Structure 1
Amino acid sequence: MEKGDCVQARQAPRDRIVSMACELFRQHGIRGIGVDAIAEAAETNKMTLYRHFGSKDDLVCEALRYTSEKAAAFWDQLEASHPNDPMAQLMGWVKARAQCLEDNKFGCDLANAAVELKEQGHPAHVVIENFKLAQRQRLEKLCRDAGVSEPELLSDTLSMLMEGAQVSKLATGSEGPSMRFKRACEAAIAAYRQPANTPPETVAP
């Protein structure tokens, strides 16, 4: 038995279903995979799946929440890696996002879901919006703590660079504009970074 199979066997059925749903949605899209395939991959059956989740939409929402929770833990790791140094944390954010961009060939699960689930009123939109809002607020706070001149504008700039790089990589591959994501972020931070030991402004007599 492979190591991954051992881990899956130790998981409760509900956790296996969510974990496999995340992976299969990532690979095939939410519309491209059905509950039968998810249940089979989770080594259970459709009856068990529906006992834990009333509908496929409920499972989609739970899978997105699961992905959101994993992404949220990233901020704690960032603070632990650079304690009491917001600028180092900000540069760490850029480095980590660049590495994620390089490693992840499927893009952002939540952004992909937002594009795929276009129908108005789908319950997943609330999960996606809450996650994106929380990420934006954390990045804006980090920019403010780092002492940049326009934290809101910089955080939105970095967010748009990340979102755009993910789409660019999917569309044109890793040799397209996404390969300059890290340099673009560093240039944006440098543009808003306050010079060290800036003397206070003097008022002319």
Structure 2
Amino acid sequence: MRPSKRDELVRKSLAVFYRDGFHATGMDTLVAETGISKTTMFKHFRTKDDLILAVLRYRDETFRNWFLRRLDERDLSPRQKLLAVFDILKEWFEETGFKGCMFIKASAEFQDPVHPAYAQSTEHKRLLLSALRSLAEKAGAREADLLARQILLLKEGAIVAAQMGFDPDPSGAAKNAAAVLIDAHIPEN
């Protein structure tokens, strides 16, 4: 099925916003880069903020689906999947065009907690935390919520380090730290 103009605009705008940022990208740039006219853009989105929110929702859905699918594809125990999170991050970091986390960037550009872009970014992280908490619970972690939060913090730190390029192996370093935490929270069977 052919994507709608709206879907095409969201998908193409994601690439531009991811590469250049939200505030630095004007509507004229989006018109030039997406090949979609301003008239069509404003037909589907009343404001640039509405388009940004649609882009963030799309990115949330596609990234989480990819990330969780990659975890599910591995024939691993829940405990092992908690560590595999960092292997999947490494895959992402090695992709051509990797420029960090769109949600970290959005929350930095839109710092008002009531702004929809900030709220969507927070929701993305909350949903990832929920998935990690579920894995920690299935693995039998004594304090599943704490372990999930710790792994999420390591994941987020690895993303920033990878984007900034100051660590030669951020996913590996984070994975090593996560192994210590997992050992402390989940007894070996």
> Under a length normalisation based on structure 2, what TM-score does the superposition of the two structures give?
0.86
Number of the residue aligned with 2:174: 181
Which of these residues, 59, 71, 93, is aligned with residue 63 of structure 2?
71
Count of equivalent residues = 186
Asked which structure has the greater RCO (Cα within 8 Å, sep 6+), the reply is: 2
Number of the residue aligned with 1:4: none
Number of the residue aligned with 2:104: 111
Q: Which has the larger radius of gyration?
A: 1
Q: Read off the aligned partner of 1:62 and give its amino acid letter.
A: A
Which of these residues, 146, 153, 169, is aligned with residue 160 of structure 1?
153
Q: Percent identity?
A: 27
The offset of 1:44, in angstroms, is 1.6
1:75-122 deviation digits (Å, cap 9, x = unpaired): 244234337x32233233232123323436311111110011124532
Structure 2 counterparts to residues 7-86 of structure 1, below 5 A: 11-73=3-65, 74-82=67-75, 85-86=77-78
**Higher mean displacement: 103-112 or 165-174:** 165-174
**Higher mean displacement: 10-19 or 159-168:** 10-19
- Decide whether the 8 Å contact of 1:18 with 1:59 is kept in 2: yes
Which of these residues, 133, 138, 147, is aligned with residue 145 of structure 1?
138
1:38-75 deviation digits (Å, cap 9, x = unpaired): 12222221110010001000000000000000122132
**Match of 2:115, SS?**
coil
> Under a length normalisation based on structure 1, what TM-score does the superposition of the two structures give?
0.80
| Superposition CA RMSD, Å | 2.2
Structure 1: gaps spanning 5 or more residues = 1-9, 197-205
Rounded Cα–Cα distance in structure 1 between residues aligned with 2:34 and 2:171: 34
Which of these residues, 164, 172, 176, is aligned with residue 171 of structure 1?
164
Structure 2: gaps spanning 5 or more residues = none
- Decide whether the 8 Å contact of 1:78 with 1:93 is kept in 2: yes
Rounded Cα–Cα distance in structure 2 between residues aligned with 1:186 and 1:26: 31
**Match of 1:54, SS?**
coil
